[in-house]
Amino acid sequence: MSRWVSIIAAAAFAVAAPAFAQSPKPHSYNIGTQATPEQIAGWDIDVRPDGQGLPPGKGSVRDGEKVYLERCAACHGEFGESAGRWPQLAQGKGSLATHDPVKTVGSYFPYVASFFDYIRRAMPFGDAQSLSNDELYAVTAFILNLNDIVDDKFVLSKETWSQVKMPNEGGFYDDDRKTAEKAFWNPNPCMKDCRPPVKITGHASVIDVTPDDKSIRKGGVE
Amino acid sequence: MNPSDTPTRPSRRSFLAGAAGLAAAGAAGAARADNANLPPNVATWSKTLGDGVGVRPYGHPSSFEKDVIRRDVQWLTASRESSVSFTPLHDLDGIITPNGLCFERHHGGITEINPHDYRLMLHGLVDKPLIFTLEDLKRLPRVSRVYFLECAANSGMEWRGAQLNGCQYTHGMIHCVMYTGVPLKLLLEQAGLKPNAKWLHVEGGDSSGMNRSLPLSKALDDCLIAYRQNGEMLRPEQGYPVRLVVPGWEGNIWIKWLRRIEVGDQPWYTREETSKYTDLLENGKARKFTFEMDAKSVITSPSPQAPVKKKGFLVISGLAWSGRGKVTRVDVSLDGGRNWRTATIDGPVFDKSCVRFYAETEWNGQELLLQSRAMDETGYVQPTKDDLRKIRGVNSIYHNNGIQTWAVKPNGEVENVEVG
């Protein structure tokens, strides 16, 4: 290659390289197999608040009570009050602004989808994805009823889905840390005499709930 | 030890302190050393053959390091399958967490997936829905990046005051490793996005079917579909064979055992991002989609599980990180935040990664109130716990990045305390 040709080639590359980097057309590697509708249907279990993804079927509060008592009550309690340390599903209304907020379907969840979708994919614990669609609608209806959101005669389905309004739907807003916590951005934090002399106001050893493992308490100065 | 240093109070167990504790520690120390192995004697290991190659085909730490392990707090959760273990930060140095010590958080136990049976489905608002095998993913172009992964609930048990003695428990829901995998952007390009695509639904294949909504802008920015960490394949407890990596964002969205990505036009409001990973404020309203992890730091040594052993020269060591970019500075205070000095950041400083910092001092038995304060490249300064509580109250559970205080006592013990 003559010197001129190589210089021209280098110049051409210099122009071409950034153009390639900004190319809007993504590179196809021809790797991966097209998913069939049947394959997608088998795995696509998510449900959105607007009802997208809801399966066919329906369930009444009454039918849901039976499913609930058989499959759910051992952990969540007969009335959604919880057994042991498992999540509480009912009550808790008016507690969110107190020292002991109780987050339940009735007090905290903004949408039916938020727990319908969860029950569908993860419950009963240890036997996931075992409920039929009718059982799923029914047990969801029953939990809504436990929280006084629907009456005893309610039947949940794709058609009645949008009738359910959750009490705390308006209880959330988007992350506002960049404005509400603007004071935490400070290019020159204090380095000297930043506060009056400091006192210890709380000790972990007062409540000391640290796991009791002798190997982790190695003592002080030898 | 002066009794006034240890206020009398009801305690579930007695803290290892005072003359009895020190005597026990001294005796244990003496029992560990065998004079026959010390100079001028020739140690036994200098005279006998050790294990040959192949005896340890994968390898494991020295048997003398058997206490360097993940630990958990059994009273925290209802079951062992939906629980968390903690990284032993006090026993580590540098910025990389060994794979076997990365904290775990599972919601349906550790799923073991045969890599031949593994599939990743990508569908929704795309031109061509696709299924990838693990081998498909490994054939695609890959990148390797160092990122921290912090659970949003890390330090969540400390909102109402000092509770746990040990940075393993107060700050151990974090690890930092090098991930290798396919940029998520590249994968989405293979399927082709529809113009109305705005959010992704990402879902795990374990029995919790963990699912979160991920904004498309983040997916196209720096997310990875990772199959390796620190060179080796992911460990089962970290999502083998494939997990999602969402740099700088709360750990819950880093879906393990990733099986499906659905492209949509709005978020899904899953159980995790409504009832769980929302930050409840004092007025009863909650912040949603608080994805980014604020700048944070902790002194890992000295700390309650790593007390000061000798008087004299002392290296203070710790970790700092920010979900918004690079850590630019870490300050250390010996007097509870009254006066600060800038620590040395040692080793590499990567985007949304941990950094290691050191500060040196002389310690001669004086009481110290140790704190560290991280700053990141956006100018964010790690706040005090009180400043954080003024804005967020104490019900948030998540995103507690307040400055930690360790009290070093005259006998070298270290306690988790609050100062005011």
Quick one: closest CA in A to B304, which residue?
A217
Q: Given an 8 Å threshold on Cβ–Cβ distance, is A205 in contact with B15? A: yes
Interface of A with B in 131-170 (CB under 8 A): none
> Quick one: pLDDT at residue B28?
42
Q: Using omega within 30 degrees of 0 as the cis cutoff, is the peptide bond preceding A187 cis?
A: no
Please give the pLDDT value at position B340.
98
Average pLDDT, consecutive stretches of 10 residues, N- to C-terminus, chain B (420 residues):
36 34 39 89 96 96 96 89 96 98 97 98 98 98 98 96 96 98 97 97 97 98 98 98 98 98 98 97 98 98 97 98 98 98 98 98 98 98 97 97 98 96
Kindly report which listed range (A175-179, A216-220, B81-85) carries the lowest average pLDDT score. Answer: A216-220
User: Strand B355-363 and strand B344-346: pairing?
Assistant: antiparallel
How far, in Å, CA of B242 to CA of A37, rounded? Answer: 24
Return d(Cα B92, Cα B415) in angstroms, integer: 19
pLDDT value at residue B35: 95
Q: pLDDT tens, A126-169?
A: 999 999 999 999 999 999 999 999 999 999 999 999 999 999 99
Q: Which residues pair with B200 in a beta bridge?
A: B214, B263
Q: Which residues of A194-210 are buried (b: 16+ CB within 10 A; e: fewer)?
A: beeebebebbbbebbbb
Pair of tokens at residue B105 = 């958080």
Q: Where are the alpha helices (DSSP H) in A73-111?
A: 73-76
Picking from A32, A111, A202, the nearest residue to B274 by CB comes out as A111
Sort out which chain B residues have CB atoms less than 8 A from A103's CB and list them.
Answer: 275, 280
Angstrom distance (rounded) from CA B312 to CA A73: 60
Of A40, A190, A220, the CB nearest to B22: A220
Q: Nearest by CB to A26, which of B189, B395, B417? A: B189
Question: According to the model, what pLDDT value does residue A209 have?
Answer: 74
A208 part of contact set with chain B, CB < 8 Å: yes
A201 touches chain B (CB under 8 A): yes
More confidently predicted of A124 and B5: A124
Q: What is the pLDDT, as a whole number, of residue A219?
A: 58
Nearest Cβ partner for B413 among A125, A207, A220: A220
Question: Taking CB atoms and an 8 Å cutoff, what residues of chain B touch A99?
Answer: 394-395
Q: Are B330 and B320 in contact (CB under 8 A)?
A: yes
Amino acid letter, A127: D
Encoded tokens for A136: 């799923």
Contact state of A210 with B21 under an 8 Å Cβ cutoff = no
Q: How many CB pairs under 8 A join A and B?
A: 310
CB contact under 8 A, B73 and A175: no
Please report the pLDDT score of residue B74 as a whole number. 87
ipTM (interface pTM) = 0.89
Q: Are B416 and B163 in contact (CB under 8 A)?
A: yes
Instruction: With beta carbons under 8 A apart, name residues in chain B contacting A181.
Output: 383, 391
Residue of A nearest to B399 (CA): A177
CB contact under 8 A, A208 and B15: yes
Q: Inform me whether the pLDDT recorded for A20 exceeds 80.
A: no
> Residue B238, SS3?
helix
The alpha carbon of residue B58 is apart from the nearest alpha carbon of chain A, in Å, by 26
Note whether A42 contacts B: Cβ–Cβ < 8 A: no
Cα–Cα distance measured from residue A47 to residue A51, given in angstroms and rounded to the nearest whole number: 6
A185/B207 touch (CB, cutoff 8 Å), yes or no: no
Cβ-defined contact of B274 to A35 (cutoff 8 Å):
no
What is the DSSP pairing of strand B120-124 with strand B258-264?
Answer: parallel
Average pLDDT of the segment spanning A92-103: 96
pLDDT range class, residue A25, cuts 50, 70, 90? low
Q: What is the pTM of this model?
A: 0.91
For residue B294 the two structure tokens come to: 């604020």
Confirm or reject contact between A130 and chain B (CB < 8 A).
no
Q: What pLDDT does residue B76 have?
A: 86
Q: How far apart are CA A143 and CA A79, in angstroms?
A: 9
Chain A CB contacts of B128 below 8 Å: 34
Predicted local confidence at residue B14, as pLDDT: 35
Query: Which chain A residues have a beta carbon less than 8 Å from that of B262?
Result: 44, 46
The minimum CA-CA distance between B176 and chain A, rounded to whole Å, is 22
Q: What per-residue confidence (pLDDT) applies to B15?
A: 34
Assess contact for B212 and B202: CB atoms under 8 A. Answer: yes
What band does A208 get if pLDDT is binned at 50, 70 and 90? low
Confidence of residue A8 (pLDDT cuts 50, 70, 90): very low
Task: Point out the residue among B15, B82, B287 whose CB comes nearest to the CB of A176.
Answer: B287
Note whether A189 contacts B: Cβ–Cβ < 8 A. yes
Q: How many angstroms separate the CA atoms of B174 and A168, rounded?
A: 32
- Find chain A residues with C-beta within 8 A of B10's C-beta: 206
